[in-house]
Amino acid sequence: MKVEPATSPLLALLAGFISELRAAGLPVSLTENLDAMEAIQHIPIEDRDAFKYALAATLVKNHAHWRAFETVFEVYFSLRGAEYDLIDGEWPEGMDLSDFVDGMDGQQRRQGGGGGEAMSAEQLAEMLFQALMRGDDALMRAIARQAVQRYAGMEPGRPVGGTYYLYRTLRNLDLDGVLERLMDQARQDAPGDLTPLEERLERDEFEARVDQLRKEVEAEIRRRLVADRGVEAMAKTLRKPLPEDVDFMHASREEMMALRRAIYPLTRKLAVRLARKRRHGRKGPLDFRNTMRHSLSYGGVPAEPKFRYPRPAKPEIMVVADVSGSVAAFARFTLHLVYAISNQFSKVRSFVFIDGLDEVTSFFEGVDDIGEAVHRVNAEADVVWVDGHSDYGHAFEVFWERYGKDVGPKTTVMILGDARNNYHASQAWILKEIEHRARKVFWLNPEPGAYWDTGDSIVSEYGVHCDGVFEVRNLRQLEGFVENLV
Partner 1 sequence: MSFSFADVDSVRKGLSDVQYLADEGIAGVVYLAERLQKPVLVEGPAGTGKTQLAKSVAEATGARLIRLQCYEGLDESKALYEWNYKKQLLRIQAERQGEDPEGEGMWQQIEDDLFSEEFLLTRPLLEAIRAAEPVVLLIDEVDRVEIETEALLLEILSDYQVSIPELGTVAASQIPLVFLTSNNTRELSEALKRRCLFLHIDYPDLDREKEIVLAKVPGVGESLADQVARIVRSVRQIELKKAPSVSETLDWARTLVLLGVEHIDADTAAETVNILLKYRSDIEKALKEFASSDEDFAAPVATS
Binding residues (CB under 8 A) for partner 1: these are 27, 29, 31-32, 35, 38-39, 42-44, 47, 49-50, 53-54, 56-58, 60-61, 63, 66, 175-176, 179, 195-197, 199-201, 203-205, 207-208, 210-211, 214-215, 253-254, 260, 264-265, 268-269, 272-273, 276, 367-369, 371-372
Minimal distance, residue 39 CB to partner 1, in Å: 6
Tell me which DSSP letter residue 449 carries: G
CB 319 within 8 A of CB 407: no
Nearer of residues 65 and 349 to partner 1, judged by Cβ: 65
Minimal distance, residue 452 CB to partner 1, in Å: 31
CB 78 within 8 A of CB 226: yes
Minimal distance, residue 231 CB to partner 1, in Å: 24
Q: Which of 388, 272, 239 is nearest to 328 (CA)?
A: 388
Nearer of residues 60 and 139 to partner 1, judged by Cβ: 60
Q: What CA–CA distances, in Å, run from 349 to 22, 84, 114, 478?
A: 42, 57, 70, 19
CB 414 within 8 A of CB 448: no
Nearer of residues 8 and 195 to partner 1, judged by Cβ: 195
Minimal distance, residue 229 CB to partner 1, in Å: 24
Minimal distance, residue 280 CB to partner 1, in Å: 8
Buried b (16+ CB within 10 A) or exposed e, 228-246: ebebeebbeebebebbbeb
Task: Please name the residues in contact with 273: beta carbons below 8 A apart, sequence gap of 6 or more.
Answer: 483
Nearer of residues 1 and 6 to partner 1, judged by Cβ: 1
Phi then psi dihedrals of residue 65, to 5 deg: -95, 5
Residue type (1 letter), 316: E
Q: How many CB atoms lie within 10 A of CB 127?
A: 23
Minimal distance, residue 242 CB to partner 1, in Å: 14
Q: List the beta bridge partners of residue 413.
A: 318, 441
Minimal distance, residue 375 CB to partner 1, in Å: 10
The C-alpha atoms of residue 449 and residue 421 are separated, in whole angstroms, by 17
Nearer of residues 433 and 483 to partner 1, judged by Cβ: 483
Q: Which of 388, 380, 383, 373 is nearest to 335 (CA)?
A: 373
Nearer of residues 57 and 79 to partner 1, judged by Cβ: 57
Nearer of residues 280 and 405 to partner 1, judged by Cβ: 280
Minimal distance, residue 236 CB to partner 1, in Å: 23
Nearer of residues 271 and 384 to partner 1, judged by Cβ: 271
Residue type (1 letter), 13: L
Q: List the beta bridge partners of residue 469.
A: 443
Minimal distance, residue 189 CB to partner 1, in Å: 16
Give the angle 97-98-102 at the CA atoms, nearest 5°.
Answer: 120
Minimal distance, residue 344 CB to partner 1, in Å: 17
The C-alpha atoms of residue 40 and residue 348 are separated, in whole angstroms, by 53
Return the H-helix or E-strand segment holding 283.
none
Q: Which of 336, 293, 372 is nearest to 478 (CA)?
A: 336
197 burial level (CB within 10 Å; 0-12, 13-18, 19+)? exposed
Nearer of residues 30 and 82 to partner 1, judged by Cβ: 30
Nearer of residues 38 and 96 to partner 1, judged by Cβ: 38
